[in-house]
């Protein structure tokens, strides 16, 4: 049971990294200018690297001959346990920044707590990841402030994206029996413990960006339990194409 909880928790972490990494990689070569294109692609690669080590660990925990690639590329939509937030489409640059802003502010707090995990593998993965997370957040906050204080157009677009994605932020703090069990055993934190911190980062940054904190309190849930928006199917059909068309293909 204990092991099952940890397995599912690791899959959730890995799926967030994989799906967000895949989303960001879609934007490769489409960035607003060369430097930012590379910056976004770097972030995508950080997440895909993180997903790889997490899936590797999950596969070991499961002990049924599954590999990290099986977990990444051969599951069905309902088996993916990522937040709805990270699968949302790259509508425009403002959406990419808003999604990253909400997620990275959470990711930094989460991985900082995970560095203290009693599970040594998870703690060591977190120690490596937190450095990347901190950079992602710094880079993204700079963009939020730039776009918010930029032109009418940039401000308007970012406010739009901030408002549209807000409804997916509640899920990051949803805690079920898996989370509660792991936090009781000091393996993972209770996300509610750092929700105030997250909200503080978000509201301070939005204030500096002269943007409004959304007031809508309706939150969407489901991703963590495999119930996704239509966006995930589109990601998977592209991401899994190679493994589906040429099973067991290798380089």
Q: Which residues bind another protein (CB under 8 A)?
A: 33-36, 38-39, 42, 138-139, 142, 146
Output the CA angle 122-98-112, nearest 5 degrees: 25
Residues 6+ apart with CB under 8 A from 230: none
Q: Are the C-beta atoms of 7 and 119 separated by less than 8 Å? A: no
CB of 170 to another protein, least distance (A): 30
CB of 39 to another protein, least distance (A): 4
CB closer to another protein, 76 vs 142 = 142
CB closer to another protein, 42 vs 183 = 42
CB closer to another protein, 155 vs 227 = 155
Q: Are the C-beta atoms of 25 and 204 separated by less than 8 Å? A: no
CB of 136 to another protein, least distance (A): 11
CB closer to another protein, 33 vs 246 = 33
How far is CA 39 from each of CA 27, 45, 112, 136, 139, rounded to the nearest angstrom? 11, 10, 23, 9, 9
CB of 37 to another protein, least distance (A): 10
CB of 207 to another protein, least distance (A): 19
CB closer to another protein, 5 vs 27 = 27
């Amino acid at each position: 049971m204990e092991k099952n909880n940890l397995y599912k928790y690791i899959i959730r972490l890995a799926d967030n990294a994989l799906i967000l990494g895949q989303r960001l990689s879609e934007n490769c070569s489409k960035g607003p200018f060369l430097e930012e294109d590379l910056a976004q692609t770097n972030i995508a690669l950080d997440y895909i690297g993180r997903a790889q080590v997490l899936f590797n660990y999950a596969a070991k925990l499961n002990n049924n001959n599954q590999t990290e690639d099986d977990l990444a590329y051969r599951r069905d939509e309902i088996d993916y346990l990522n937040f709805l937030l990270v699968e949302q489409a790259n509508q425009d640059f403002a959406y990419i920044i808003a999604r990253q802003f909400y997620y990275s502010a959470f990711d930094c707090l989460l991985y900082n707590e995970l560095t203290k995990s009693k599970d040594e593998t998870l703690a060591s993965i977190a120690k490596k990841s937190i450095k990347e997370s901190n950079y992602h957040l710094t880079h993204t906050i700079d963009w939020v402030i730039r776009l918010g204080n930029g032109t009418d157009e940039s401000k308007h677009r970012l406010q739009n994206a901030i408002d549209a994605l807000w409804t997916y932020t509640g899920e990051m703090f949803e805690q079920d029996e898996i989370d509660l069990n792991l936090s009781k055993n000091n393996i993972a934190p209770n996300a509610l413990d750092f929700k105030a911190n997250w909200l503080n980062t978000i509201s301070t940054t939005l204030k500096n960006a002269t943007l409004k904190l959304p007031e809508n309190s309706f939150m969407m849930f489901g991703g963590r339990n495999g119930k996704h928006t239509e966006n995930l199917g589109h990601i998977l059909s592209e991401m899994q194409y190679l493994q589906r068309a040429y099973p067991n293909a290798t380089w």
